[in-house]
Amino acid sequence: MKVSGIDDNGEPFAIEVMASGLSRSGALLTGLEVELRCGDLLVLDYEGHRAHFRIVWFLNLGPRLGAQVAIHKANRELCPWADLLPAEPALASAPSNSQ
């Protein structure tokens, strides 16, 4: 998965990272070797699909491992990895009170 954005020094970056804990609203990224902080905006590209995410927490694991970053998808954007997730259950309609 490719991640791009602007680091704390105002420099653009684009790197490949590992993602886990995928959901329709976010993921956990591992291996980021750039200086970032909570609230920063990232762009993720996955198999031709792109979406914007905000960093909700950031854990620096040291120089060899990079950082773990939890991200949350911006509103109204399609999930770039939706095809990997189980289908969402259909909403059940409310029972009617007609007699």
The per-residue pLDDT for 66 is 84
Distances (CA, A) of 55 to 34, 35, 64, 68: 13, 12, 21, 10
pLDDT tens-digit map of 41-70: 999 999 999 999 999 999 988 887 888 999
The per-residue pLDDT for 65 is 81
* Virtual torsion, Cα 12, 16, 22, 28, nearest 10 deg: -60
Tell me the average pLDDT across 20-39: 92
Residue 81 has pLDDT above 60, yes or no: yes
Given pLDDT bands bounded at 50, 70 and 90, which one contains residue 27? very high
Tell me the average pLDDT across 10-15: 95
In percent, the amount of the chain with pLDDT more than 90 equals 57
